[in-house]
Structure 1
Amino acid sequence: MAEPTFQPPLPSPTPGTGTATFPPGYRKSVRTHVRHPLENLCLVLVILASFVVWSVAGYEVASAIIERREPDPYAVFFLVAPLLIYFARGQLYARMRLGGVKITETQYPEAYRMLVDAAAYYGLPKLPDAYVVLGNGVINAAASGHGFRKFIFVYSDLFEIGGAARDPDALRFIIGHEVGHIAAGHTSYWRLLGISGASWIPFLGSTLSRSQEYTADNFGYAYVPQGSAGAMATLAAGKYLNRTVDVNALADRATTEKGFFVWWVNALASHPVLVWRMYALRDRRRPGRLLWRPKHRS
């Protein structure tokens, strides 16, 4: 894959050390350096829509109290969202600590070095926790937080691709992607609270989510570009067939698969559809498309 032209080349970390030669101010700027150009606009729109939703909910509850009637349950739901989000994140973190295998210097040390490298590369002041959890066939990973603690978790079926006999760079990309979510601020409680009122609105919340996924992909690509193809191949065909996937053919279809339902499926999805995502990782001259399919360019 060619180096991107919409962003300058980034220095690569020294594998296993968490270090790299950074230009002055690099650690502070890297998080905005790879952010999708439309992410902040989407974020502002969702926050504004959330403010409208909360205002309506607050007015409904206040009116119900004055009129001595039952408030609309949806209005109550939105007003207690801060507590619901807090407890949901706390429960998730507890489940990771109680049921997941924590990645440490002695437990999966190769993956731990990947985690250290990614956190150092992105300039994180504190290393996030990382866990392997039972996948039962699910190929997925995620990042979250609770209080001042940040963490990522990788399902076991996806984690398996990281062995030396398989594709460790693909796992390195996955870890870089998830740590990128943390570095970009996507796991912040206040951010989630700010968008909670409107993240459920069709197209609006999902478009913000897709822009965040492109940003996290950019973090992963900046960290280990050679791992992007293997990671996407695994997401497409699983941990056994990933080596057989022609990722260029997958990316080529982004410009040819068209129609209303193609647009519809992507518009409602929390993640960019896979062929668009692979196309964006291959063509680094322009950011990933959020709503309209990529156009073929030589």
Structure 2
Amino acid sequence: MGSAWQWGDPRVRRRLRHPRENRILVACGAVTLLAVVGAVSRAVSGDPEEPLLLLSIPALVYFVRGQLYARQRVNGVRITEDQFPEAHRMVAEAAAAFNMRRVPEAYVVLGNGVLNAFASGHGMRRYVAVNSDLFEVGGRLADPDALRFVIGHEVGHIAAGHTSFWRHFCVSVAQVIPGVGSTLGRAQEYTADNHAYAYCPEGMYGMRALAAGKYLYRDVDFHAVAARAATDTGFFVLLVNLLSSHPVNTFRFAALADRSRPGRVL
């Protein structure tokens, strides 16, 4: 696990961030800026209806984030020192490793068979939510390193600034354009994976659960999946990756297996 003073070094922070992330963020921000400027221009010229709808995006982003946060609070199980103390310790350790001033809140939410986790925020609050089926991997299925990697990944999103209101607003218009917002999403996922790897490298093998499920993943050869990134290619593979908010599994596994190069965004 990386120490806080290492994370405080700007060189370490740059190394953990995918090299294309900031450039793609600027491009997405430019799309939103052009849309907003166009909306203002149309409103001034006397066509207010559609432009005013576009200019209401900040309020919409605020409302959606607030509603999502409330849903976790009222329906999820809060991870605390008394409720799931081992997981709470993982969240606190990850926050300390990334030199964060606050430990984010964390929740277990009903998964209904879906293996997923996410990080978000509302106002000054930041939080992590882990679906119950994925949480079981670190608990009942006794693979704490896998859960530690997942938590490191989600806390990494927060540490890298991916959950801020202004970032979400900045990319809001780009998100509705196929292949544009999703490309930023893939770069951010690689950044979060880099944080998780720095925090708990041995936990990367738990990512096999995303490919084979929580019961079969131990039988999966991680490096065999990673090697297919060089052989399972072609137009439709690239298309599936382009339209996905997360890198396809073969690309993602390959990036974790070979730390000498960044993950493939395109």
Q: Give the Cα separation in 2 of the matches to 1:46 and 1:229.
A: 32
1:284 equivalent in structure 2: 259
Q: Give the Cα separation in 2 of the matches to 1:71 and 1:95.
A: 32
Deviant stretches of 4+, over 3 Å: 20-23
Pairing of 1:1-298 with structure 2 (within 5 A): 12=1, 20=3, 22-23=5-6, 26-27=7-8, 29=10, 30-65=12-47, 71-72=49-50, 75-163=51-139, 165-230=141-206, 232-291=207-266
TM-score with structure 2 setting the length? 0.95
Give the counterpart letter for 1:256 in structure 2.
Answer: T
Give the counterpart letter for 2:260 in structure 1.
Answer: R
Give the counterpart letter for 1:158 in structure 2.
Answer: L
SS in 1 for 2:127: strand
Deviation at 1:165, TM superposition (A): 4.8
Give the counterpart letter for 2:72 in structure 1.
Answer: M
Bigger helix share: 2
Q: Relative contact order, CA 8 A, sep 6+: which one is greater?
A: 1
TM-score with structure 1 setting the length? 0.85
Any conservation in 1 of the 2:122–2:165 contact (CA below 8 Å)? Answer: yes
Q: Give the Cα separation in 2 of the matches to 1:143 and 1:64.
A: 41
Partner deviation per Cα, 1:27-83 (whole Å, 9 max, x = no partner): 253433300011010011111111111112222233335xxxx733xx333210100
Deviation at 1:258, TM superposition (A): 1.3
Any conservation in 1 of the 2:32–2:174 contact (CA below 8 Å)? Answer: yes
Partner deviation per Cα, 1:180-216 (whole Å, 9 max, x = no partner): 0000000000111111122222222111110000000
Point out where structure 1 has 5 or more consecutive residues left out of the alignment: 1-11, 14-19, 292-298
Q: Give the Cα separation in 1 of the matches to 2:76 and 2:14.
A: 32
Query: Max radius of gyration: which structure?
Result: 1
Any conservation in 1 of the 2:4–2:99 contact (CA below 8 Å)? Answer: no
Q: Give the Cα separation in 1 of the matches to 2:79 and 2:195.
A: 21
Any conservation in 2 of the 1:141–1:155 contact (CA below 8 Å)? Answer: yes
Q: How many residues align?
A: 265
Partner deviation per Cα, 1:139-164 (whole Å, 9 max, x = no partner): 10000000000001000001000027
SS in 2 for 1:105: coil
1:6 equivalent in structure 2: none
SS in 2 for 1:180: helix
Any conservation in 2 of the 1:54–1:197 contact (CA below 8 Å)? Answer: no
SS in 1 for 2:175: coil
Any conservation in 1 of the 2:4–2:96 contact (CA below 8 Å)? Answer: no
Q: Give the Cα separation in 1 of the matches to 2:29 and 2:61.
A: 16
Q: Give the Cα separation in 2 of the matches to 1:257 and 1:165.
A: 31
Partner deviation per Cα, 1:206-238 (whole Å, 9 max, x = no partner): 1111000000000000000000111x1111111
Give the counterpart letter for 2:192 in structure 1.
Answer: A
Any conservation in 1 of the 2:149–2:197 contact (CA below 8 Å)? Answer: yes
Q: Give the Cα separation in 2 of the matches to 1:287 and 1:197.
A: 27
Q: Give the Cα separation in 1 of the matches to 2:43 and 2:132.
A: 45
SS in 1 for 2:33: helix
Q: Give the Cα separation in 2 of the matches to 1:78 and 1:187.
A: 22
Deviation at 1:168, TM superposition (A): 0.7
Give the counterpart letter for 2:49 in structure 1.
Answer: P
The root-mean-square deviation of aligned C-alpha atoms, in Å, is: 1.5
Q: Give the Cα separation in 2 of the matches to 1:169 and 1:77.
A: 46
SS in 1 for 2:26: helix
Percentage of matched positions with identical amino acids? 55
